Amino acid sequence: MDIVFIRALRIETTIGIYDWEKAIRQPVVLDLEMASDVARGAATDRIEDALNYKAVSKRLKEFVSESRFELVETLAERCAALIREEFGVPWLRLTLNKVGAVTDSAGVGVIIERGTRPATTPDTTSA
């Protein structure tokens, strides 16, 4: 299994359970690992044959910046569903960090995995 990743994608959004949080925008930071067969894109050297991480990032920025959720859990689930459905990703691990949510911490949030992790093919060439 190959993994395409995006690290520290920072997006401003409205998120939180308190009234004051519902009236402001706060940063969330996303880290993603997405299963993808990179061999196809590598063979053709065409973006059409690869998982386009720029397109994924752009779509996430659009979705998250326009969303309004109370819980980081809800936002993480919706982001995972969006990526899997719109980009055909069979498995992903998503970390959502609500920066500054807890005093004296670097961040808090959730890490979720969704989908079926593709099996790796055993190396039979060295036998």
Neighbours of 13 (CB within 10 A): 19
Distances in Å between the Cα of 18 and the Cα atoms of 14, 15, 22, 27, 70 are 11, 9, 7, 16, 8
> Is 98 tagged catalytic?
yes
- DSSP reduced 3-state for 73: helix
Conformational region of residue 87, where left means phi above 0, alpha means psi within -120 to 50, and beta covers everything else: alpha
Q: Are 113 and 91 in contact (CB under 8 A)?
A: yes
Exactly one of 22, 54, 61, 98 is catalytic; name it.
98
Active site residues: 98
